[in-house]
């Protein structure tokens, strides 16, 4: 079939056994070496970065990181294109060809001082480590400050300079594997939907509906789709490879435990899991990329589009994943109900917000048609943690800067940050802690 457009993605994995600083940046036999000065030069290409350092943290290190703004997997695209088209470079198709990835590591972006509602915390060891996925990775931590005075004291931050610096750093580090054979290759291929063979077509068609956060009307805060603000899109059909290969980047708004970092998008477990079932138990049709706008009519419009696309594809079932809580629950339920009404069986994946006492309504909107829900955690869960030997970033940010799970002053609990460095916080500020992309090992139970 000449000129038939089939996306076939191969991700070449390089397992990182250790990371250290050295005279030159390279990857050899499992060891990633980074020339810190060179790496910092890449970071400082943006003059808005006023101060920067890079640290290496590993699982088990007695380190607490806060405020954490983003996580990105370092990769290299063999066609030499930008890791995030439309964002770090020119627009191009992704999800096809070969992309090399350094596994077991991520680039973490941490503010040197200033945090915000959307930033979070990671403990690399101890009781707090289990609350986030990133404590399992060897992380290359960029900790930096910027001259973005306009938002320094604001609770809502775009974190533009820092996030873009993180992406540049991830590209820089990814180049270390531009010319080597990977340890293993993951293959991702789905044929064009209407041209699949009968074995596949007879299996129940399933779509994954993703609801990335797009709450802000001003630019600079929302998740981006090939560089386009998700607030300004209508739900659309995308190939899952595109999500795995850099079409989506995380924004800077969602309270942190609900967040999908860019790493989450690159490794979206629900997509990988559906691929595992594809051809065996289901016919994975694709991803319907929706959003989470704030106005009721926009929520209704998105739900309508999602149900329409799913029904017209002939999907028998859909998994809906919500990157958020609060008013976005209305979108979540609206999509689930619209799909059920269109004859598409649904399963939803989200977190809940039942309050510190656990007695509040789990989602702001409910409907009996949403009868199959996976719950990944409680935004409001109170967590108390002892001090950590080392803090990267600034611990006080948790209490001072309006992080979603931290506070300056509470009648009963006092400040989130105690004098001895111990903390009391809500799960809300655990970095991507509710693992809605699919890796959460938590659920919600009746106590």
Tell me which residues in 336-375 interact with other proteins (CB under 8 A): 345, 347, 349, 352-368, 370-375
Footprint (CB under 8 A) of other proteins, residues 99-118:
117
Please tell me whether residue 266 binds other proteins under the rule CB under 8 A: no
Name the one range near other proteins by CB under 8 A: 63-71, 96-104, 180-188, 401-409. Answer: 401-409
Binder of other proteins out of 296, 312, 343, 384 (CB under 8 A):
296
Please tell me whether residue 3 binds other proteins under the rule CB under 8 A: no
Token pair of 26 as six digits:
């390279």
Token pair of 325 as six digits:
């809580």
Please tell me whether residue 41 binds other proteins under the rule CB under 8 A: no
Q: At what angle do helices 36-43 and 160-174 cross, to 10 degrees?
A: 140
Please tell me whether residue 441 binds other proteins under the rule CB under 8 A: yes
Please tell me whether residue 184 binds other proteins under the rule CB under 8 A: no
Measured CA angle at 179 (ends 177, 180), to 5 deg = 75
Please tell me whether residue 129 binds other proteins under the rule CB under 8 A: no
Cβ-based nearer residue to other proteins, 310 or 353: 353
Cβ-based nearer residue to other proteins, 45 or 219: 219
The strand pair at 75-77 and 97-103 is best described as antiparallel
Q: Which of 359, 321, 340 is nearest to 438 (CA)?
A: 321
Cα 261 to Cα 433: distance, rounded to the nearest angstrom: 10
Q: How far is CA 244 from CA 240, 248, 265, 289, in A?
A: 7, 8, 6, 13
Please tell me whether residue 169 binds other proteins under the rule CB under 8 A: no
Name the one range near other proteins by CB under 8 A: 6-14, 54-62, 139-147, 406-414. Answer: 406-414
Footprint (CB under 8 A) of other proteins, residues 312-341:
316-317, 319, 326-327, 329-330, 333-334
| Residues in binding contact with other proteins, number by CB under 8 A | 86
The strand pair at 49-57 and 105-111 is best described as unpaired
DSSP lists the bridge partners of residue 188 as 9
Q: State in angstroms the smallest separation of the CB of 185 from other proteins.
A: 21
Q: State in angstroms the smallest separation of the CB of 446 from other proteins.
A: 4
Cα 196 to Cα 200: distance, rounded to the nearest angstrom: 6
Chain centroid to Cα 381, Å, comes to 21
């Amino acid at each position: 079939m000449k000129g038939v457009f089939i996306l076939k993605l191969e991700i070449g994995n390089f397992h990182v056994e250790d990371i250290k600083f050295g005279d030159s940046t390279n990857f050899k036999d499992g060891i990633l070496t980074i020339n810190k000065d060179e790496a910092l030069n890449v970071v400082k290409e943006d003059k808005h970065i006023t101060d920067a350092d890079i640290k290496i943290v590993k699982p088990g290190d007695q380190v607490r990181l806060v405020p954490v703004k983003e996580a990105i997997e370092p990769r290299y695209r063999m066609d030499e294109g930008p890791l995030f088209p439309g964002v770090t470079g020119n627009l191009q198709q992704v999800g096809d060809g070969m992309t090399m990835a350094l596994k077991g590591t991520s680039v973490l972006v941490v503010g040197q001082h200033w945090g915000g509602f959307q930033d979070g915390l990671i403990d690399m060891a101890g009781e707090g480590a289990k609350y986030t996925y990133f404590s399992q990775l060897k992380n290359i931590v960029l900790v930096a400050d910027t001259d973005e005075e306009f938002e320094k004291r604001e609770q809502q931050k775009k974190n533009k300079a820092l996030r873009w610096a993180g992406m540049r750093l991830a590209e820089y580090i990814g180049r270390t594997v531009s010319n080597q054979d990977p340890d293993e290759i993951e293959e991702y291929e789905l044929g064009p939907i209407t041209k699949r063979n009968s074995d596949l077509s007879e299996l129940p068609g399933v779509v994954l509906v993703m609801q990335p956060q797009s709450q802000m009307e001003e630019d600079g805060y929302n998740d981006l789709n090939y560089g386009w603000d998700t607030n300004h899109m209508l739900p659309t059909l995308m190939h899952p490879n595109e999500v795995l290969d850099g079409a989506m980047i995380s924004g800077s708004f969602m309270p942190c435990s609900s967040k999908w970092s860019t790493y989450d998008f690159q490794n979206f477990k629900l997509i990988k899991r559906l691929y595992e079932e594809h051809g065996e138990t289901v016919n994975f049709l694709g991803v319907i990329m929706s959003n989470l706008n704030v106005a009721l009519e926009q929520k209704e419009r998105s739900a309508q589009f999602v149900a329409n696309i799913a029904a017209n594809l002939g999907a028998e079932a859909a998994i809906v994943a919500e990157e958020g809580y609060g008013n976005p629950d209305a979108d979540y339920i609206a999509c689930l109900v619209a799909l059920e009404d269109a004859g598409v069986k649904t399963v939803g994946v989200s977190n809940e917000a039942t309050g510190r006492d656990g007695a509040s309504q789990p989602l702001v909107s409910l409907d009996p048609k949403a009868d199959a829900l996976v719950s990944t955690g409680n935004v409001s869960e109170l967590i108390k943690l002892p001090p950590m030997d080392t803090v990267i970033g600034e611990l006080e940010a948790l209490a001072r800067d309006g992080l979603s799970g931290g506070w300056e002053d509470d009648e009963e609990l006092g400040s989130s940050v105690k004098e001895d460095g111990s903390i009391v916080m809500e799960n809300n500020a655990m970095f991507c802690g509710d693992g809605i992309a699919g890796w959460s090992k938590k659920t919600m139970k009746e106590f």
